[in-house]
């Protein structure tokens, strides 16, 4: 009876191993985010990210900003960005990689990603003080993180002042800007997405919600934000199957010895 039970356990483990062989190999991706801006300069809202198949395009330069990117640029929540991303790519891995970061701060998060089906990376974060400024990629295939064999192709993405976007959705008004004003006073601009960092100087000398006096200090080549990547394999299911087989084998050998002793 004992041998029959052990045999069933081994057979079950083998079957599990065969089925596990067909499952995707996941990679643990650790994402580290740093605010590199000068002291008393810009703050970044939480970083919204997606690992995906390369189809979700949240905005385009020279075109009006749609609801998904507006939900990033005006408030940073991503309340429309996440649903639109999931609708465009149901298999994408979505989440928040970092909390809001003041100059000099950093944060990190880890995601389980299948590099074969989700090799691309998209990100977006509001930048304040502003009415509707943000960082992000306007080409869904701009950042391919993984090669065909699952190897990491990009170790870091660095954003400079010249990479800052103006969504063109809200009129530039320091009195209504997030982080220094009353954002409830916002007014629609109805313009288009464009690169723009010069307007941050208009906030110089204003008291921020964090308690410091804002000083932009931004030149075109000033590094302001870095997203770094490190990967480790997720233990594949067959690893646990081999452990189960080993335990089953030990149990089977033990039962054989017990049976032999009893017979003697």
Reported pTM: 0.82
Ranking 35-49, 188-202, 231-245 by mean pLDDT, the lowest is 231-245
Under 8 Å between Cβ of 168 and 189? yes
pLDDT in tens, 138-193: 999 999 999 999 999 999 999 999 999 999 999 999 999 999 999 889 999 999 99
Full set of structural domains in the chain with CATH:
27-237 (2.60.40.2130)
Look up residue 201 and give its DSSP letter: G
Tell me, rounded to whole angstroms, the distance of Cα 16 from its chain centroid.
32
C-alpha 212/C-alpha 206 separation (Å) is: 8
Handedness of CA 67, 72, 78, 83 (dihedral sign): positive
pLDDT at 70: 99
Q: What is the pLDDT of residues 67-93, one digit of tens each?
A: 999 999 999 999 999 999 999 999 999
pLDDT single digits (tens) 87-143: 999 999 999 999 999 999 999 999 999 999 999 999 999 999 999 999 999 999 999
Per-residue pLDDT, 236: 61
Structure tokens at 70: 């507006």
Q: Which residues contact 177 (CB under 8 A, 6 or more apart)?
A: 128, 129, 130, 131, 183, 203
């Amino acid at each position: 009876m004992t041998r029959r039970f052990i045999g069933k356990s081994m057979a079950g483990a083998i079957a599990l191993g065969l089925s596990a062989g067909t499952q995707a190999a996941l990679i643990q991706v650790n994402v580290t985010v740093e605010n590199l801006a000068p002291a008393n300069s810009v703050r970044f809202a939480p970083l919204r990210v997606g690992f995906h198949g390369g189809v979700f395009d949240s905005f385009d330069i020279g075109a009006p900003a749609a609801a998904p990117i507006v939900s990033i640029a005006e408030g940073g929540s991503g309340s429309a960005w996440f649903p639109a991303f999931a609708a465009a790519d149901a298999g994408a891995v979505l989440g928040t990689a970092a909390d809001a970061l003041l100059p000099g701060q950093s944060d990190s998060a880890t995601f389980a990603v299948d590099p074969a089906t989700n090799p691309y990376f998209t990100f977006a974060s509001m930048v304040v003080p502003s009415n509707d400024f943000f960082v992000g990629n306007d080409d869904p295939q701009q950042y391919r993180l993984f090669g065909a064999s699952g190897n990491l192709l990009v170790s870091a993405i660095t954003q400079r002042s010249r990479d800052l976007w103006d969504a063109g959705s809200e009129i530039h008004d320091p009195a209504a800007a997030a982080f220094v004003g009353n954002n409830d006073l916002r007014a629609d601009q109805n313009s288009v997405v464009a690169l723009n960092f010069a307007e941050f100087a208009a906030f110089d000398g204003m008291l921020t919600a964090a308690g410091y006096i804002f000083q932009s200090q931004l030149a075109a080549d000033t590094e302001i934000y870095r997203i770094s990547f490190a990967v480790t394999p997720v233990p594949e299911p067959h690893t646990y199957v081999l452990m189960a087989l080993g335990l089953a084998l030990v149990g089977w050998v033990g039962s054989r010895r017990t049976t032999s002793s009893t017979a003697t």
